[in-house]
Chains A and B, each alone.
Chain A
């Protein structure tokens, strides 16, 4: 059974500092890995999706890497801003021909202090 772990569970940084969020998964047979952002009491916003054949994806200040063999992904957020404060979740999709069932990590709660 796939297990996804995110460390740290919470992170507080001053504005301008770079953020490094870690995600690990136990079964390397994944189809893709996705990073989401969740604001308090809200749904999920997709940030980046990395296919299993890819090593990284970038969008603006966000960069996500994937090392499938070691079961790890890292989300980097450059020059953090107070608006980046949220919970960040990673989720993996298993390598199956059909379906899109995601297994989520526990999330990292980020606070960027002005």
Chain B
């Protein structure tokens, strides 16, 4: 089956530093990737939709300059948390949608998540 990986799985950083999280589709081409954020014991909140070769579309309330998204290839999207602060600590999950699949089919595959802790 389709596999989506994320790297790193866990990262601890100091306040003010930037952190890059990678999302890769391992055995399929993903024209669209989604980035979610999940606080403890809460649900997933969509942050942005990332399309290969174009600018990401951010959800309302998500700072695009804070959360930089790059979808440079059909198998890789990156989320960079710039000048991270403790309130950015969260679980970040990506998902990837296989290109060319019929609309409405179950083609969105989720990564294992990245736990970010900002000290």
Contacts and interface: CB of A to CB of B under 8 A. Distances in A.
A2 to B, nearest CB: 11
Given A43-B110, A43-B112, A44-B93, A104 B44 contact: yes
A100 B43 contact: no
Interface string A75-89: 000000000000001
A99 B43 contact: no
A114 to B, nearest CB: 24
A106 B108 contact: no
Query: Is chain A's interface secondary structure helix, strand, loop, or mixed overall?
Result: strand
Interface string A89-100: 101010001111
Interface string A31-46: 1101010000111111
Contacts of B95: 44
Interface stretch (B61-69, B73-81, B99-107): B99-107
Contacts of A41: 91, 113, 115
B93 A46 contact: no
B13 interface: no
A44 B107 CA distance: 13
A28 interface: no
A97 B104 CA distance: 9
Contacts of B46: 101-103
Contacts of A102: 34, 44, 46, 108
26 contacts: A31-B104, A32-B104, A41-B115, A43-B4, A43-B6, A43-B93, A43-B112, A43-B113, A44-B44, A44-B95, A46-B106, A46-B110, A89-B44, A93-B104, A100-B97, A100-B107, A101-B46, A101-B49, A102-B34, A102-B44, A102-B46, A102-B108, A104-B43, A106-B42, A106-B43, A109-B41
Interface of B: 4, 6, 32, 34, 41-46, 49, 91, 93, 95, 97, 103-104, 106-108, 110-113, 115
